[in-house]
A and B are shown apart, each in its own frame.
Chain A
Amino acid sequence: MSVLVYIEADNGTIKGSSIEAAFYASQAAKGQAVTAVVTDKLEDSAIGELGKYGVQKVLKVSDERLAEKPVAPIATAIAAGVAESGANLVIMARSSLTDAVAPRLGIKIKAAVASNVVALPSQEGGEFVVKRSIFTGKAFVDVALKGDKKVITIKKNSVSPQATDSASVDIASLDVNFGDKDFSITLKDVKKQEGDILLPEADLVVSAGRGLKGPENWSMIEDLAKTLGAATACSKPVSDMDWRPHHEHVGQTGIKVSPSLYIAVGISGAIQHLAGVSSSKTIVVINKDEEAPFFKNADYGIVGDAFDVVPKLTEALKNA
């Protein structure tokens, strides 16, 4: 199947999740052509990296207005990439941008759309089947996508990308006829914490809850996260009380994460919180209540006071 992958960059670097998407695309292509569309500013040398993950051709869309990552024009640009490459399958790593782009693109190119896909497709017997995470991580469903065109968005850690040596990538520019209304949203301001590891991208996450007693006690969580190179997250009550910003809230109505390691400090493990983290590979729970439900959904646990355990864990990591 001829495949197109949408590549997102941040500050001139390809996002880790997009590398995963490129590798996913080349695996799903089964030897057929893999084309990438790039709408962010990226040097050709950075784009070359995609060759190691199986991308043969890159279509670059250069338009200053796309720097703000507007949804509708990027959907139009990817649709143009589909037309140019003749791809049947479009792969995107989930992000706040692609979550919004995928359904628009699906309508534009008349495709079956599956979001939240967690593994490579099965293509036996001419049927294209993907596994989706549903009920906020509490279940999975296998769905067959019919028709000539398909769009899927993949969850983090759906594949483990492996680089190869072959790295020749053909880079071409793609002209796009944007729609009249594509740019009808005006960006007024962006409030972003710079320098932090982005939570949905993070492979390691340190999360804390009400057990921390107050926002002033977060420095030990930040120390632990920094030592690990992890992102910080929090439970819903913590973001509701404004101890931490909403974009750190993990759970049923917050961000869903699937990192390799999730460390939960002072979070009891309500079903709504578990829903957002259950697809993490390894879960470590630190709680002073040995009856906390989170221990039943953890791989490693420490019963103890966060104020005692967390600094000791940080110290042990530094010494290791």
Chain B
Amino acid sequence: MKILVCISHVPDTTSKIKFSDNALDTNGMSFVIGPYDDYALARAVELKESHKATVTAINVGKSDTEPTIRKALAIGADDAIRVDAEPIDAFFVATQIAEIAKSENYDLILMGREASDYNGGQVHGMVAEMLDMQAIVPCMTLDIDGNTATMTREIEGGKEIITCDLPFVAGCQEPIAEWKIPNMRGIMMARKKPLKVVEAVQPEVLIETKSYELPPARSNCKMFTSDDMASLVRALKEEAKVI
């Protein structure tokens, strides 16, 4: 079984977000594998052990993403592909992934439900549509028996259990697997694993970024005592007008 895991390279979730010159200010920021993609990778590595799968990690990014890709290799991916381009938008990234997947016949294409930076949540659906496959999002459990997968998909107020034949795309989230931390042996091996750099195809880009802004800060928090809940209720009614 061949698994492709798509990895985004995003600021650590504890990062303070700021912008300068109409771009993300990455000064002092550390970058990680997208937290949702990390779940997808962890499940893929588990399947590698239980289903004799090979796992390829793919990232669309310039050379600064290579430490993140090496981390995916250290966690357990067998090899990796970097498409050498800025990940302009979801359509651009999906086009690159679909282009590679067309010739490689992966049984499973896994990624996170969304990248934690731009929160598009579109790459899985776009790749699936381009390849005429199903996309299961958000996928909370994934088990494979023969050619059929059983999955749990989160829906509003609950979940549904579904089955789908391979190949397909899944956008993963917890608790599909526990995040894996690379061990020393993994880190050493990752240095020698193949990381192929390929050129990007150039689709027509339909989205242009104009400007960024930060949300307004909340004004000072108004405090109440537990013996004066009537005042809080009045404030919610008359001042905030939310109840």
Contacts and interface: CB of A to CB of B under 8 A. Distances in A.
Interface in B191-242: 204-215, 218-219, 221-227, 229-230, 232-237, 240, 242
Contacts of B126: 103-104, 106-107, 113
Contacts of A302: 223-226, 232
A137 B17 CA distance: 10
A143 B157 contact: no
23 contacts: A103-B135, A107-B125, A134-B117, A135-B118, A138-B215, A139-B19, A142-B213, A186-B164, A189-B160, A190-B155, A190-B160, A246-B175, A253-B173, A261-B236, A271-B14, A281-B242, A283-B218, A299-B221, A301-B224, A305-B226, A308-B226, A309-B226, A317-B233
Interface in A129-179: 129, 132-147, 179
A112 interface: yes
Given A190-B160, A196-B157, A282-B242, A144 B119 contact: no
A144 B156 contact: no
Given A134-B118, A261-B243, A285 B35 contact: no
Nearest to A309: B226
A77 interface: no
Interface string B108-130: 00000000111111111110111
B15 to A, nearest CB: 8
A313 B213 contact: no
Contact of B162 (A185, A246, A303, A313): A185
The secondary-structure label for the interface of chain A is mixed
A143 B240 contact: no
A134 B210 CA distance: 14
Given A141-B209, A295-B221, A298-B218, 15 more contacts: A97-B155, A103-B124, A103-B135, A115-B120, A138-B214, A141-B212, A181-B132, A181-B133, A185-B164, A187-B162, A304-B226, A312-B226, A315-B229, A317-B233, A317-B243
A93 to B, nearest CB: 12
A107 to B, nearest CB: 4
Given A143-B209, A193-B157, A301 B222 contact: yes
A247 B159 contact: yes
B232 A135 contact: no
A95 interface: yes
B215 A284 contact: no
A199 interface: yes
A140 B212 contact: yes
Interface in B155-196: 155-165, 173-175
B76 interface: no
A133 B145 CA distance: 39
Interface of A: 69, 71-72, 75, 95-97, 99-104, 106-108, 111-116, 129, 132-147, 179, 181, 184-193, 196, 198-201, 204, 228, 245-247, 252-253, 260-261, 271-272, 275, 278-279, 281-285, 295-305, 308-309, 312-313, 315-317, 319-320
Interface in B140-157: 140, 150, 153-157
Contacts of A319: 230
Contacts of A284: 232, 236
A276 B122 CA distance: 19
A317 to B, nearest CB: 6
Nearest to A249: B174
B73 interface: no
A246 B155 contact: no
B136 interface: yes
Nearest to B140: A246
Given A108-B129, A260-B242, A253 B35 contact: yes
Interface residues of B, number: 81
Contact of A296 (B118, B125, B130, B221): B221
Contact of A144 (B36, B162, B210, B212): B210
Given A103-B123, A271-B14, A281-B240, A316 B206 contact: no
Contacts of A253: 35-36, 173-174
B243 A204 contact: yes
B91 interface: yes
Interface string B61-94: 0000000000000000000000000000011001
Given A145-B207, A283-B218, A309-B226, A190 B158 contact: yes
A305 B13 CA distance: 30
B212 A113 contact: no
B242 A104 contact: no
Contacts of A111: 206
A298 to B, nearest CB: 5
A228 B157 CA distance: 19
B32 interface: no
B54 interface: no
A279 to B, nearest CB: 7
Contact of A143 (B207, B219, B221): B207
Most buried by B among A97, A247, A283, A300: A300
A117 B124 CA distance: 19
Contacts of B212: 139-142
Contacts of B35: 252-253
